[in-house]
Amino acid sequence: MCSNRISDAFWDACLYMEDECNKLIETERKNGVTDQIKEIEKRLNYYFYDIVYRWAKKESFFSIK
């Protein structure tokens, strides 16, 4: 669970990435690519964003749980 409120700009970036991922999946489908993951949730792993955000704010890895 994300412990920090994300900014509107970051949320917009997430929505943009999801839209681009949908386009990629559709392009792969149209071109017969069958060996790639189809689910956006598996392609875009949001689990680590809070960790990276906190690390970028100079928190130590030890303090990030």
In this predicted model, what pLDDT tens digit does every residue of 17-52 receive, in sequence order?
999 999 999 999 999 998 888 888 888 877 787 788
Q: Is residue 49 part of a domain?
A: yes
| pTM as predicted | 0.64
Q: Is residue 13 part of a domain?
A: yes
pLDDT at 18: 93
Higher pLDDT, 30 or 61: 30
Q: Is residue 44 part of a domain?
A: yes
Judged against a pLDDT cut of 60, whether residue 1 lies above it is answered with no
DSSP codes of every residue in the chain = ---SPPPHHHHHHHHHHHHHHHHHHHHHHHTT--SS---HHHHS-GGGHHHHHHHHTT--TTT--
pLDDT at 48: 80
What confidence category does residue 4 fall into, taking pLDDT thresholds of 50, 70 and 90? low
Q: Is residue 41 part of a domain?
A: yes
Name the domain count of the chain. 1
